[in-house]
Structure 1
């Protein structure tokens, strides 16, 4: 658990708890892409996913809490690998900041937290993906030192 001071009100970073799921799913659905693929009315699949994630020691679901209210989240995954001379990498996914907190610096603090946690875990690389249409997010990640380096592919199953 960590506390960070921002704009006069402390932000607590802690692990997500089951009771945080409605707020997190609402944040996941709070944009054009999320509105198409998330279902805040039915939390059943999210609860099942949360249980799998919470049981996996290579996963960290971050809750950013200000004044008792969940205002941000991300998922940090540690992946051991053989490539890059046996490097462990971390993957940042599902970065969301509540609408009334956007532009406050909270997203930067969350990413910096994830980078610090990755260093502590011995990772040699931090990576993330961002939908091609999220141009503002791309600029945000570049400001934080990330470089566009790969062309991504996916296959819907």
Structure 2
């Protein structure tokens, strides 16, 4: 297992985009400030995320990084972290005991939107889910994120379920 404090993580994917060379890699703990900036860089995240206290994020990072069913990924453009998402694998009894992949917290820097970076990330995640034997890939996106809904639909996702959450 690659540890959170590794000096460099191997590339999971490398691709040319309009702005340069885009690389996906496993996130490192020292990426947290940039990941948090990406998570906070929209109307919803701005009210939910705060880099004032990194302790809860470091705790969550350690849990994600220490569990082989979860992967926190960052995307770099010529060495700068410009994107992120989490990929988790969930076992289930439904669908004949099949596994599913859950994609969470997808963010791409505003300056890169529309250059195919998000599609590269999601397509990579889908391929990982196939290789892991998952029968489906699922994600949720806030109802107010209409552009995200169009993006996921273009990639083949279908709004087949109504999601519900209970804040604790």
Q: Which of the five TM-score ranges fits, normalised by the shorter chain?
A: over 0.9
Cα offset, 1:39, TM superposition = 0.7
Cα offset, 1:153, TM superposition = 1.0
Structure 1 segment 58-77 matched on structure 2, within 5 A: 58-77=69-88
Deviating more after overlay: 37-46 vs 57-66: 37-46
CA deviations over 1:48-99 (Å, ceiling 9, x no partner): 1000000010001111111110010000000011110011000000000012
Residue pair 1:29, 1:40 contacting (<8 A) in 2 also: no
> Whole-Å Cα distance in 2 between the matches of residues 56 and 74 of structure 1?
16
Cα offset, 1:8, TM superposition = 6.3
Cα offset, 1:7, TM superposition = 2.1
Which structure 1 residue ranges, 4+ long, deviate > 6 Å from structure 2? Answer: none
Structure 2 equivalent of residue 143 of structure 1? 154
Residue 104 of structure 2 corresponds to residue 89 of structure 1: no
* Unmatched tracts of structure 2, length 5 or more: 1-10
Structure 2 equivalent of residue 47 of structure 1? 58
What TM-score, normalized to structure 1? 0.97
Structure 1 segment 13-32 matched on structure 2, within 5 A: 13-32=24-43
CA deviations over 1:99-123 (Å, ceiling 9, x no partner): 2111111011111111011111111
- Which among 10, 13, 17 is matched to residue 21 of structure 2? 10
Structure 1 segment 94-113 matched on structure 2, within 5 A: 94-113=105-124
Deviating more after overlay: 47-56 vs 7-16: 7-16
> Whole-Å Cα distance in 2 between the matches of residues 63 and 30 of structure 1?
15
Cα offset, 1:127, TM superposition = 0.4
What TM-score, normalized to structure 2? 0.91
